[in-house]
Chain A
Amino acid sequence: MTPHKRQPHEAGAPALTGRRRLGALMAAGVVAVCTAVFAAACAPGSSAPPPSSPRASATAVRTDAAALGNVTLTVWDQEVRGGQAAQMEKLNAAFQAKYPNIKLNRVSRSFDDLNTTLRLALSGNKPPDVVEANNGRSAMGAFVKAGQLRPLDAYAEAYGWKERYPESVLRYSRYSADGKLFGEGNLYGLPQVGEVVGLFYNAARLKALGLEPPETWAEFEAALDKAKTAGEVPLQFGNLDKWPAVHVFGTVQGRSVPPDQIGTLAFGRKGASWNTPENVRAAEQLASWVGKGYFAKGFNGQGYDAAWQAFGKGQGVFLIAGTWLLADLQKALGADLGFMLPPGATAGAAPVATGGTGLPFAITAKSPHPDAAAAYIDFITDAEAMKVLTETGNLPVADTAAQTVAEGPQKDVFTAFGTVTGKDGLVPYLDYATPTFADTLGAALQDLLAGKAAPREFLATLEKDYKTFAESNG
């Protein structure tokens, strides 16, 4: 500020004590740094690419991976445990053997770690080439909106992915180019494994009660009742982690609410409402189960893992959960384990079950090797790959019926998934609806199950979140 050069010990300086001068200097420093901050960095995110640059269709797609020259692909996945890790290692090794010109640089993180670091990684200048991005709006939706994922439709055409996958599966990776519509539009990724939420049951316990696996929903409730009377835990359940009740509610809801309505609600589209008699019936039924003592005691204070592990130890007749628990439960219960789709109102009713896909593999917009990345994704999801997935104890998302597995729980799971995808009966996870819905629904369900909120209040909470989002999303 002062234009003239100051002398080291000029007069006037002693007026400031050493301490105060130091303070003044510090303050000046703070101001300087802060101004630098505000001057240098404009609005946060200004280094992000312009939203939705449709580049994929512009370049011709090359599917001959061997002719792509020497390429290194960085792949971020979350296949860290057991059979998941095994299939990934096998497939990667096979891919490298087939295409020695493409080198894979695999970065593997747990689901939570991947979710929390991907956002930062994608906004950097050198993001990984292939990433597993969670389908929901807070992850894949946000990435699409920010133009950080590449639409794969040209590759889907070239590789015939639409024949490989049923549309009911592909729609879980579809977004409109602006990220607003979920479930339709461009394809942004391909999943490897399928998931469906159904009823695990302990066949030995069921038999001891003199019961067969229920064929209708009424029979299921009757079985819960009988188990309760006999002093068993009818439905093993732990809801401390907030989200497990979402799967139970989704299953109950599927009995009362038409699947297309659930789809509209779960994809956060306009045109549906939580305040319907069918939803009220579902919420009331779920709440009534608490009163009837169908759930394990103290469920809101029990962890999810602790609950299914208790089921694995033989405590509990039923467990409403997803196929991802198959391997662990089978290890614990062996042939006593059974799995079935949630039964409908009548024995022959069309199947409806919450479910979808594992995390889809997507290609980042900044990747310099999209063709090689697409070839990799094609390789880990083709018919051969599905066989590898089956061998390593996973549930492949496509060609499920073509796999041969031994009789028992794994066969049950494969049959259930084949049936429900074949009849287009998969309804999406409810927490997909809005970026905040997982939280809203999880907390609201804890309120409902604890009797803190009446069914109608519960639905009003959901409606508020859903409506606010659907309106603002256009």
Chain B
Amino acid sequence: MAAPPGEPRRVAYLYLLPAFAVYAVFLLYPIGRAVQISLYDWDGLSLGTWAGLDNYVAVVADEGLRAAFAHALVLIVFYAAGPLVIGLALAAILNHAKVRGLGFFRTVVFLPQVIAMVVVAVAWRRVYAPDGSLNSLLGALGLDSLTRGWLGDYTFALPAVGVVGTWFETGLVTVLLLAGMSRIPASLYEAARLDGAGAVREFFAVTLPSVRAEIAVALTLTVIAALRTFDLVYVTTRGGPGDSTSVPSYEVYHRAFGLGQVGSAAAIGVTLTVVIFVLSFGINRFADRRLT
């Protein structure tokens, strides 16, 4: 035993093996299989025929599929950017004002996260219905001209779906940021105040830089959530009206189980995985660099 204690030894890999085996069986194998299927033209039943990169070419060439990816990018604004702005404001206020019963407010903002997305979607479907509560509210405010079937409106369907995402993700982001802010030493604020900084200045000079890591985590989580949106679209609009709210994950499901185009579905899934990987990698690289 020449190696000093703590030095990695070959035998250590044996300890990794069980975990790796599980990882391989449940993750690497399915990924490899998905990549393989994406290279075939397969209906899920009979023998598949080799299609090469045709399915991937279709992802780029098919106008409808391009639109689906574009919709997912729009949803990032609602799922990630919106909650981040609102969450920063909310957390700053809650943290700064030292609100009484902070735990209660924290629970309230976090509550949407606890509810299953399908339930959320069913509830919002009612809110957006032509005779739903949103239209009733507008009517009561004398804004009858604005009422419409929100999820069936070509201009408003995608934003309407997005707003549900904002509502859903804001709580998570707020709680994350709140945790980050509570770690900021009070001395930093005192120093800032001595330098004559107001609340706004204080926020940008002290609070914001201190929670950069939390922002990165929040963005990673919400961007991924935006890109893999499925249940919300499936329950509220099924991609409609027309194709104005279709998203990649819905297309994966729809093609694989509805239309029997499993190869095409796998290609979309693999593409989506790559997009998600690149984006979350980018976010984390960005956050890392700014931290050091």
Chain A residues in the interface with B (C-beta under 8 A): 8-9, 18, 21-22, 25-26, 29-30, 33-34, 37-38, 41, 43-46, 48, 51, 115-116, 119-120, 122-123, 138, 142-143, 145-148, 239-242, 296-303, 306, 310, 435-436, 439, 442-444, 446-447, 450, 452
Contacts and interface: CB of A to CB of B under 8 A. Distances in A.
A114 B152 CA distance: 28
B258 A145 contact: no
B63 to A, nearest CB: 12
Contacts of B8: 18, 21-22
B47 A435 contact: no
B46 interface: yes
A450 B45 contact: no
B45 A145 contact: yes
A123 B44 contact: yes
B42 A45 contact: yes
A436 B62 CA distance: 15
The 9 A-B residue pairs whose C-beta atoms are closest, nearest first, are A301-B149, A300-B152, A298-B149, A298-B130, A301-B152, A18-B8, A146-B45, A146-B46, A446-B241
Interface in B122-143: 125, 128-131, 135
Contacts of B242: 443-444, 446-447, 450, 452
Interface of B: 2-3, 7-11, 13, 16, 20, 24, 28-29, 32-33, 36-37, 40, 42-50, 125, 128-131, 135, 147-154, 157, 236-243, 254, 257-260, 262-263
B45 A43 contact: no
Nearest to B258: A138
Contact of B152 (A123, A239, A435): A239
A122 B130 contact: no
21 contacts: A8-B9, A9-B3, A18-B7, A34-B28, A37-B36, A41-B33, A43-B48, A44-B262, A45-B46, A146-B45, A240-B240, A242-B240, A298-B129, A301-B148, A302-B149, A303-B129, A310-B131, A443-B240, A450-B154, A450-B241, A452-B242
A301 B29 contact: no
B259 A30 contact: no
Given A44-B36, A115-B257, A299 B149 contact: yes
Contacts of A296: 130
A119 B40 contact: no
A301 B259 contact: no
A29 B32 CA distance: 12
B151 A44 contact: no
Contacts of B149: 240, 297-302
Contacts of B148: 298, 301
B45 A452 contact: no
Nearest to A179: B46
A44 B257 contact: no
Contacts of B125: 240, 303
Contacts of A241: 238, 240
A55 to B, nearest CB: 17
Contacts of A148: 45
A143 B238 CA distance: 25
B45 A123 contact: yes
Given A300-B241, A442-B240, A29 B44 contact: no
A301 B154 CA distance: 10
A122 B45 CA distance: 8
Nearest to A446: B241
B263 to A, nearest CB: 8
Contacts of B152: 239-240, 298-302, 446, 450
Contact of B47 (A46, A142, A439, A452): A46
Contacts of B10: 8-9
A443 B152 CA distance: 11
B46 A33 contact: no
